[in-house]
Amino acid sequence: MTGTTRTSADLDPRRRRTLYRSWHRGTREMDLIMGRFADAEIGTLTEEELDDFERLIEVPDRDLFRWITDEAEAPSNYDTAVYRRMKAFHQHGAPVDL
């Protein structure tokens, strides 16, 4: 089970692979964080943004989760527009329905 709600039929091979990797991180929490963002944004990312997102996929779950939840500051080489977009995508003031 991936959890994805998006079809990959309209995506090029690189974006399909990235979408898959977003939903298969290792921990369910990071699958939901990366996967839901990818479902919503993968089709509109530029090539440079896709490069940045793929770099984020390589970050260990524990580290990336700490950055997203503000337990630690993201290093400057990962604090990109895509990272900030993903973080903002998941910020809200109400409880999350999973």
What is the per-residue pLDDT for 10? Answer: 80
In whole angstroms, give the CA distance from residue 16 to residue 4.
12
Q: Among 5-9, 69-73, 86-90, where is mean pLDDT lowest?
A: 5-9
Interior/surface letters 16-27, b for 16+ CB within 10 angstroms, e for the rest: eebbebbbebee
Q: How much is the average pLDDT of 6-27?
A: 87
CATH at residue 74: 1.10.150.250
How far apart are the C-alpha atoms of 52 and 62, rounded to whole Å? 18
The values of phi and psi at residue 21, to 5°, are -65, -30
> In the prediction, which pLDDT does 44 show?
92
Of 27, 67, 35, 75, nearest to 53 by C-alpha is 35
The highest-confidence range among 7-11, 50-54, 68-72, by mean pLDDT, is 50-54
**How sure is the predictor about 22, in pLDDT bands with cuts at 50, 70 and 90?**
very high
Confidence of residue 95 (pLDDT cuts 50, 70, 90): low
Specify if 4 maps to a domain.
Answer: no
Please report whether residue 63 resides in a domain.
Answer: yes
Residue 73 domain flag: yes
- Domain limits at 66? 13-90
pTM of the model: 0.84
| Distance of alpha carbon 65 from alpha carbon 29, whole angstroms | 8
According to the model, what pLDDT value does residue 1 have? 45
Structural domains counted in the chain: 1
